[in-house]
Amino acid sequence: MTVESRHRPSAPPFAAPLDPARYTRRIILEPHQAIEAVTPQRDLFVLAHLGIPRVEALDWRLEIAGLVERPVTLTLDDIRRLPARRVESFHQCAGAPRRPDLAVHRVANVVWSGVDLADLLRTCSVHADARFLWAYGLDHGDYDGVSAKWYVKDVPLTRLGEGGVLLAYAVNGEPLAPEHGFPLRLIVPGYYGTNTVKWLWRLELAAGRATGPFTTVLYNDPDPAAGGTRPVWEAPPEALIVAPAPGPLAAAAIEVWGWAWAAAEIVQVEVSVDGGQSWSTARVERRRQWSWQRFAFDWRPAGAGSFTLAARATDSRGAVQPMGKARNSVHTVKVVIE
Ligand SMILES: Nc1nc2c(c(=O)[nH]1)N[C@H]1C(S)=C(S)[C@@H](COP(=O)(O)O)O[C@H]1N2
Ligand SMILES: [Mo]
């Protein structure tokens, strides 16, 4: 294998037709329906920018190349024979790639199974000058005015050093469905979903950031403090109100509850029943690995009327959710006490 072909792959050595060959989005659960602590695979949202590749397990191969001493090509059986790891993590879509001012509240929580990528990479001997992992999906084509040879995302190797980064072949103990990345996807717990590359066929170790549209013109949010833009990688704190659902309610003792999550553990959730003018501290469960955390607040409405409930999370780094104009803006729910 030449250096040129290691750095400029043209195609995987097997067929993976796209069906459908276009942007596909399926939103299954509304926030008030996200009741289960672990979201069943059939209830996960589906997000595919370019289409859904259909893969024959026996034909499929994963190559690991670029700045490594020993490039390898693995079959699915090779990967399944490696020690299996489980990681519970929130799974969140960042929303529109070019709309950092819009919160979509699209989140789930699942248990991924797969192999530890840092362990696997040690067997390839990564060069000292490598700084990023580039992950290639089998999907390709046009999206929002850009053309992609492949769906490629990148992860700094420092994140791999923090643990939990998987090549996952199962979710909640079930094989990945085609739309969720069969046969193998990258999982970066704590990062937004856009980085969890589905339908992997190539991993490349590189000195710089990936050069495709999904890491350059898309998914980079303005950040003057960071000198221009910031990749949409780690998820900042966010809380979602599950109950009560929007609409009419009887005037009784009401538990306002939901889920909160971030790349770092959530240490505080506050609930407001007056649209964010005043706040009370809610109870918050500890997290398991990178799971979302349940919060709850007991509310006794003083009387009938319309109320805007809101929940605001703070993480262990001290970051707090903004009220508006952010991917993680505060979620509000309007209820009417009858
Ligand atoms: N190859 C590939 N991986 C991808 C995407 C994609 O379009 N192609 N979409 C990403 C985005 S934006 C999200 S939110 C998650 C969604 O994962 P899910 O559809 O399994 O819920 O997959 C990510 N991985
Ligand atoms: Mo997404």
CATH of the domain at 179: 3.90.420.10
- Whether 232 is in the pocket of ligand 1, judged by its Cβ within 6 Å, is no
Which atom of ligand 1 lies closest to the CA of 53?
1
Q: Name the domain boundary from 174, 198, 229.
A: 229
Residue 4 has pLDDT above 50, yes or no: no
Please list all protein residues whose beta carbon sits less than 5 angstroms from ligand 2, which is an ion.
Answer: 47, 93, 193-194
What pLDDT is attached to residue 181?
98
- Residue 8, pLDDT > 60, answer no
DSSP 92-156: EE---TT-TT----EEEEEEEEEEEHHHHHHTT-B-TT--EEEEEES--EEETTEEESS-EEEEE
User: What's the whole-model pTM score?
Assistant: 0.96
CATH number, position 244: 2.60.40.650
Whether 49 is in the pocket of ligand 1, judged by its Cβ within 6 Å, is: yes
Q: How far is the CA of 265 from the centre of ligand 1 (A)?
A: 24
| Same domain as 281, residue 197 | no
pLDDT for the residue numbered 10: 78
Q: Is 48 in the pocket of ligand 1 (CB under 6 A)?
A: yes
pLDDT tens column, 165-206:
999 999 999 999 999 999 999 999 999 999 999 999 999 999
H helix or E strand, kind and range, residue 76 = helix 76-80
Average pLDDT score, the chain: 96
In the chain, alpha helices (H): 3-7, 76-80, 117-122, 157-161
CA 66 vs CA 6, 14, 167: distances in Å: 6, 20, 18
CA triple 208-125-83, angle to 5 deg = 110
Least confident interval from 4-8, 84-88, 203-207, 236-240: 4-8
Same domain? 270 vs 157: no
172 with 89: CB under 8 angstroms?
no
**Encoding tokens for residue 158?**
């420092």
pLDDT tens digit string along 126-145? 999 999 999 999 999 999 99
Which residue's CA lies nearest to atom 19 of ligand 1?
A: 46
Q: Which domain holds residue 271?
A: 238-337
Ligand 1 atom closest to Cα of 137? 1
Cβ–ligand 1 distance for 44 under 6 Å, the answer yes
Residue 129 shares a structural domain with residue 244: no
The finding on whether 199 has its CB within 6 A of some atom of ligand 1 is yes
pLDDT tens digits for range 37-63: 999 999 999 999 999 999 999 999 999
Q: Say how many Å lie between the CA of residue 92 and the centre of ligand 2.
A: 7
pLDDT of 36 higher than 70:
yes
Number of domains composing the chain? 2
Considering the domain architecture, whether residues 178 and 256 belong to the same structural domain is answered as: no
